[in-house]
Structure 1
Amino acid sequence: MNIINQFRSLSYKQQRDLLNQLQSVLSSSRPILEHRHVNNCPYCQSNKLYKHANYAGGGTRFKCVECGKTFNEFTGTSLHRVHKKELWDGFIRLMLESKTIREICVELKISKQTALDWRHKVLSAFNDLYTKQFKGVVETDDTYFRFNEKGKRGVVKYDRKLRGISNQQVSVMVTADRYKSIDLKVIKLGRITTSALEKKLNLDRFNKSNIIYSDNSRIIKNFFRDLDIQHETFIAKEKYNGNVHVQNVNNLTRRLKDWIKFNFNNVSTKYLHNYLNWFMMIEILKDKNNSEDIMWDYLMKSSSANYNFRKIENNYKILCS
């Protein structure tokens, strides 16, 4: 109680400075390595490893028997060669609150480029995490985002009054079953095609026991017919006796678009896939009490996060080609 009374006697600025210092101490004390369990070599995926040395940060270096390369717990992860790791606890907390780059820079006292790089290093870790198979009824629909080069100077201004679907829009498939498993995938510029769906969707998440509900899209019907998966069409003007609807997907799409518009006032197409990952992570964690710990567990599972981060520019060129 004496400490609390002393804290109350401080001015508001002194209280805020003290809280920031305490937060920094708390962040630097987080045992990040407890969330990382090294079982395979990040270079060749072999499990024939042995401890090679220790380093100053309190971690361990390993050596792979198969390829002979050495690495530590952070190699290949989002924290690969990242400085100021002690700030990442606060950084993850701000990400879970959907804070903007400007707000993160002010609170953590880092540069805009550092905050942007850290954000996409984190989000690149979630590319391959959503692999759980859909169960039972699965709703799916395509939605579209305006092609955007936010953050790039000297870009061509696009016609905001343009109607219909064109290459100035990016197609995204939104899929969800009724057990809260979801999937969001960037497909291509312009209208979806069956060949693009085959390349972009994770087909292992679907199985023959699924029943697919969608609107009256010929492309979606043909795609699932070729996969030999039962498909039923929902037409808004008709009334069905039963639960044939796409309300879950429509609600998910609305929340996604509202989240992007409210928090970021639209996002660059170059990074759209990562923002979809971010939204899926928020959806997974929204009812969890220990969301920060769970996010750290997800974050440190991926040994390909750094590789995915370096591929962003190339993937964007492929999307635009």
Structure 2
Amino acid sequence: MNRKNYSCFVGIDISKKDFYVAILQEERTASYTFENSKKGINAFIRLIRNQKIDLKNTLMCMEHTGVYGKLIITKLIEKQINFCVEMLVQIVKSIGVHRGKNDKVDAMRIALYASKNHQEMKLYQPMPMILEQVKILLKVRRKMVNTRADMNKYPNELELFSPELGKLAKNNLKRINKSLEEEIKRIEQEIHKLILSDDKLNKTVGLVTSVTGIGKITALHFIIFTNFFTRYDNPKQLACYCGVVPFEYTSGSSVFRKSRIHPMANRTLKKHLHMSALAAINHDPEIRDYFNRKLEEGKNKMLIVNNVRNKLVHRICAVVKRQEPYVRNVA
């Protein structure tokens, strides 16, 4: 947690073309607009210096906007400025009921959010370049896999109702499919080279994949989203982030619903965990016995699968913490 007391708070609202800045210092406020480019970011840094703002006692805060925030994050890291990157939903829910919206107002709301919650906020920890590179390659690979699946969906459906037309469509997609498969394999080879080039990444991938059911791609997603497993405090917190923890929904004696998983989760990790859980049920005797035992008890199948996903998260956290590969229990 960030326990330092700050005298100045800067809220930054980022869009594709511009970013809006709100400076909250004591009871004074000021707002500015800059172009979201190297030139605009340098102008923002000059403004901070010209106003003689003490950067050591300043906390900047922005919402997570993906690639739009890359330039300014890089500059803030370079200048060793204290800043946080927060989820939009967390900022919105913390400031209560509000009406109206524009970028200037949003920047001020972010600054107010930082001033109220800075004791609990965590300073931004940059992701190592090796993970940034792997992350980009994984995204490109995923887009290619999705493109291949989308293209093959139509001829497969067409073949059910018109075999000749379906065959015609498939024949004309063969070359594209072959090209995509070759590119996917090439990207996977590039990812493998990056893994081997970094000792820490190579060791962590080996530890995570030692858990039965967890493949290399799933392991890499876990490592990237957790920044080498540093963005969570305990396995339960990570399991919640993955969307595999059910939450109670009751109130008094009249509202009583079944515990359900909250939709706000990392869907990529959840998807990979689901496939890993199915693989673990097929290949891990301990988990297979657990799955069959719960089925015999009459438990819902998807509930059991979700419990398996939760078990896998705890196993992953355990091997990373101990820095020892997972060892199956032998009966």
Q: Compute the TM-score of the two structures, normalised by the length of structure 1.
A: 0.22
Structure label with greater radius of gyration: 2
Which one has more relative contact order, counting CA pairs under 8 Å at least 6 apart?
1
The answer to which structure has the higher helix fraction is 2
